[in-house]
Amino acid sequence: DAGVIQSPRHEVTEMGQEVTLRCKPISGHDYLFWYRQTMMRGLELLIYFNNNVPIDDSGMPEDRFSAKMPNASFSTLKIQPSEPRDSAVYFCASSFLSGYNQPQHFGDGTRLSIL
């Protein structure tokens, strides 16, 4: 099993540019999560999907952030326009549907730097 795959691993871009982060969950997993990690705020849940449908996006910071899951094997997190305060490590995770005691499997993250 390849695990959760995220791309790119690193992204450096200038303020105002659009940023797109990608995630491929583990095959067969029904839940997909997007997290953001910073030194100041720790690991924060941004949004999660169940069977490709967004269930809770209350953690999304503002309208500049959007996430989609067009199919069971792919999700994107987009920031437009990007700002320096968006600099963080963004993690994607996935898990099975079959109950709330199913642990999440995390990717290795995308380290985003907005200049």
What's the closest the beta carbon of residue 11 comes to other proteins, in angstroms?
15
**Cβ burial, residue 31 (10 Å; 0-12/13-18/19+):** middle
Tell me which of 77, 91, 94, 114 binds other proteins, using CB under 8 A.
91
Question: Mind giving me the DSSP string for 9-23?
Answer: SEEEE-TT--EEEEE
55 touches other proteins by CB under 8 A: yes
CB 53 within 8 A of CB 47: no
Q: Is 12 in the site for other proteins (CB under 8 A)?
A: no
Task: Give yes or no for residue 101 binding other proteins (CB under 8 A).
Answer: yes
In the set 31, 64, 72, 76, which binds other proteins (CB under 8 A)? 31
Is residue 21 within 8 Å of 90, Cβ to Cβ?
yes
- The secondary structure of residue 86, as a DSSP letter, is G
Query: Is there binding between residue 4 and other proteins (CB under 8 A)?
Result: yes
Judged by the rule CB under 8 A, the positions of this chain that interact with other proteins are 4, 31, 33, 35, 42-45, 48, 50, 55-56, 91, 93, 100-101, 103-109, 111
